[in-house]
Structure 1
Amino acid sequence: MASDFAMTIPAELESSLRLKTVHHFVTQRPWLDLYGINVRPVAPFGSVSRKPYVDTALIHRCLPDELLFEVFARMSPYDLGKASCVCRKWKYTIRNPVFWRNACLKAWQLSGVVENYKILQSRYEGSWRKMWLLRPRIRIDGLYVSRNTYIRAGVAEWKITNPVHIVCYYRYMRFFPSGRFIYKNSSQKIKDVAKIMNFRAAKADCVFTGHYTLSEDKVEAAVLYPGLRPTVLRIRLRLRGTTAGANNRMDLLSLVTSGMNDNEVNGHDEDILGVVEGWQDDETHNPDVPAVSHKRGLTPFVFVPFEEVETSVLNLPVEKMDYYVPG
């Protein structure tokens, strides 16, 4: 029996019915297969592993651990920090306390081995690496530079009625682990001064030597200006860093010049700091040379490594950098 009732299906419903029979293709995700799989880490240097592990890196297969240890032993602490970022094995190898012990004993050799061991146990939990990062120390792999500028009135010429000049000069200090340092006050750029900042400099270079002591973060230094009226320059500094372990800034707390008599100069040529120890800021031993506490030119010192003296921003002229903020 035929029905006289007919129903028409809209086109929208027909398209939805076809979607039910369509097969959906899912994109393969191979990284999902790594879930739940433990990746074996590189064993630290000197550790004993139950199963033998072959490092796939070519340098580790060709270079034994003993030779790698000798290479790291001849690197500076700052180069060790860079090398620890190469791979995990180098990171664990460089954490060996032998590297940091040698660096600490050299940096604080004035304190003595016994005193350094006492400080290590009492303040830094026996970690040489922690001592290197947290204990204030003077860096010897570069120069400390203080850039100072001031405005000086000029002479009126032609149509310029009120001329002014920006004068720029630098204070340079290079320290040595033995307790000696080199000081120079000059208008020359750091790339030119770095070549003569050594004990072999000629008198014409106006490079003077002195002695310093480090107590916590305070630095006491003294340098002698020889001549008919010997003058001693006493410098007090505070050591700090922009990051942990950097020690790349020194605040100039005081700068005092005083006179000395001939007997003091002739009897203490080697250790001028011991002569002026305990002097007051207004004390002088030569009436012709009064004690002067300088209030200008006290810009903080910025540390510049030797490998950066050619590219440092401190080489820029006044026309391009009239004022420098050390930070």
Structure 2
Amino acid sequence: MASPDISFDIRPEFNSFDHLRSTGYISTDRPWLKLYGIRVPPVSPFNSLSSTPDLALIHQCLPDELLIEIFGRMSPYTLGRAACVCRKWKYTTRNPTLWRNACLKTWQRNGIEANFRMVQSLYDSSWRKMWVQRPRIRIDGLYVSRNTYIHTGITEWQFKKTVNVVCYYRYLRFFPTGKFLYKISPQKVKDVVKCMHLRASKGDSVFKGDYTLSGDGQIEMALLYPGHRYTLVRMRLRVRGTTIGANNRLDVLKILTTGVNGTELGNWKGNILELVEDWEENETHDPDVPAVSHSRGLTPFVFVPFEEADTSVLNLPVEKMDYFVPG
């Protein structure tokens, strides 16, 4: 070990060298940083007589007519993602024809004439503005409600009781015709999305019902549980969005189960929602099946597009996410 009384003299040239080396490392010149945030337009070839810039290769292969034809076959969710590709696609997706078709398909039950009158009187004849501001139900995915609760197990030869975290889901899929599909299952989103269609088998336990959407975003729903005794499920939801035009949340206002008379049901020709339109909230038509208003499992529904069903965070097990905050 060196003695503290011994000192070494360092030459001045070494000190200056270290200073230059550290200074050069800190203030390294990176010229490519100056290109960030700067749009470099394409230029014409050197021998070209035209002063207008040449289009990119993908724009040369896809003229505007063909591009609008392709965008017209996209879902509104995919259309919004295409608008983020480049500036030309962003302006092309502003075509009123694309949003007019989306609006007429979503609110087809109101009729074409009623939609045209509404877009002229309330939304300044802008179909895109109507699509963003008017409350609507999204049909390009599933609304999922993730519910968890704690279940205490039985004590067997132990001093402590086992506690289990139980997780189950409520699934909703809406159609523009006024029909919807409903399913309660402990299976995750990526597994249930495969059977949420109108041709689902009885083993999938997917039930079909009817719904209506009011102008203020409130949804009235009704479906029938088949079995030895028919049970009618009535739900009242309210649509909202985390951002303007998202419509990606459904708040559960009420879930009610009541009994229905089999004879009355057999003579009815319309949909289930019209049958219970004049009923009171606690009214039941079967004395053996009382009316019950449920107070559990009322977690808001979160919208999951079909494209994100496999990657959604709702697929995480309870070991990684014991509770989900919808927001």
TM-score range, shorter chain: 0.7 to 0.9
Name the SS for the 1:161 alignment partner.
coil
Q: Find out whether 1:197 has 2:196 as its counterpart.
A: yes
Task: Give the superposition deviation at 1:227.
Answer: 1.7
Deviation digits for residues 170-221 of structure 1 (CA, Å, limit 9, x no counterpart): 1111111111011011111111111111122111221110000111201111
Shift in alpha-carbon separation, 1:52–1:92, aligned structure 2, 3 A: farther
Identity %: 65
Matched with 1:78 is 77
Distance in 2 between the 1:160 and 1:118 partners? Answer: 71
Please say if residues 75 and 140 of structure 2, whose CA atoms lie closer than 8 Å, have aligned partners that are also in contact. Answer: no
Shift in alpha-carbon separation, 1:270–1:307, aligned structure 2, 3 A: farther
Q: Which runs of no fewer than 5 residues in structure 2 stay unpaired?
A: 1-30, 32-39, 43-49
Task: Give the superposition deviation at 1:269.
Answer: 6.2
Name the SS for the 2:281 alignment partner.
coil
Please say if residues 143 and 171 of structure 2, whose CA atoms lie closer than 8 Å, have aligned partners that are also in contact. Answer: yes
Distance in 1 between the 2:85 and 2:185 partners? Answer: 41
Give the residue type in structure 2 aligned to 1:321.
Answer: M
Please say if residues 210 and 224 of structure 1, whose CA atoms lie closer than 8 Å, have aligned partners that are also in contact. Answer: yes
Distance in 2 between the 1:189 and 1:40 partners? Answer: 47
Name the SS for the 1:229 alignment partner.
coil
Please say if residues 240 and 248 of structure 1, whose CA atoms lie closer than 8 Å, have aligned partners that are also in contact. Answer: yes
Matched with 2:55 is 56
Q: Find out whether 1:124 has 2:126 as its counterpart.
A: no
Name the SS for the 1:132 alignment partner.
helix
Matched with 1:271 is 271
Q: Find out whether 1:145 has 2:144 as its counterpart.
A: yes
Please say if residues 249 and 301 of structure 1, whose CA atoms lie closer than 8 Å, have aligned partners that are also in contact. Answer: yes
Deviation digits for residues 29-81 of structure 1 (CA, Å, limit 9, x no counterpart): 9xxxxxxxxx999xxxxxxxxx9845331222232222122112222222222
Distance in 1 between the 2:193 and 2:129 partners? Answer: 31
Please say if residues 264 and 275 of structure 1, whose CA atoms lie closer than 8 Å, have aligned partners that are also in contact. Answer: no
Distance in 2 between the 1:231 and 1:79 partners? Answer: 39
Matched with 1:23 is none
Deviates more, 1:59-68 or 1:100-109: 59-68
Matched with 1:6 is none
Matched with 1:169 is 168
Please say if residues 230 and 265 of structure 1, whose CA atoms lie closer than 8 Å, have aligned partners that are also in contact. Answer: no
Name the SS for the 2:137 alignment partner.
coil
Please say if residues 268 and 275 of structure 2, whose CA atoms lie closer than 8 Å, have aligned partners that are also in contact. Answer: yes
Shift in alpha-carbon separation, 1:179–1:52, aligned structure 2, 3 A: farther
Distance in 2 between the 1:270 and 1:147 partners? Answer: 32
Distance in 1 between the 2:260 and 2:96 partners? Answer: 47
Deviation digits for residues 205-252 of structure 1 (CA, Å, limit 9, x no counterpart): 211100001112011111100122111100100000111111110000
> What pairs with 1:246-265 in structure 2 (closer than 5 Å)?
246-265=246-265
Q: Which runs of no fewer than 5 residues in structure 1 stay unpaired?
A: 1-28, 30-38, 42-50
Give the residue type in structure 2 aligned to 1:253.
Answer: L
Shift in alpha-carbon separation, 1:66–1:167, aligned structure 2, 3 A: same
Give the residue type in structure 2 aligned to 1:210.
Answer: G
Matched with 1:33 is none
Give the residue type in structure 2 aligned to 1:95.
Answer: R
Name the SS for the 1:296 alignment partner.
coil
Distance in 2 between the 1:160 and 1:191 partners? Answer: 39
Shift in alpha-carbon separation, 1:321–1:110, aligned structure 2, 3 A: same
Deviation digits for residues 241-274 of structure 1 (CA, Å, limit 9, x no counterpart): 1111111100000000000001222133651111
| RMSD between aligned residues | 2.0
- Number of equivalent positions: 281
Give the residue type in structure 2 aligned to 1:290.
Answer: P
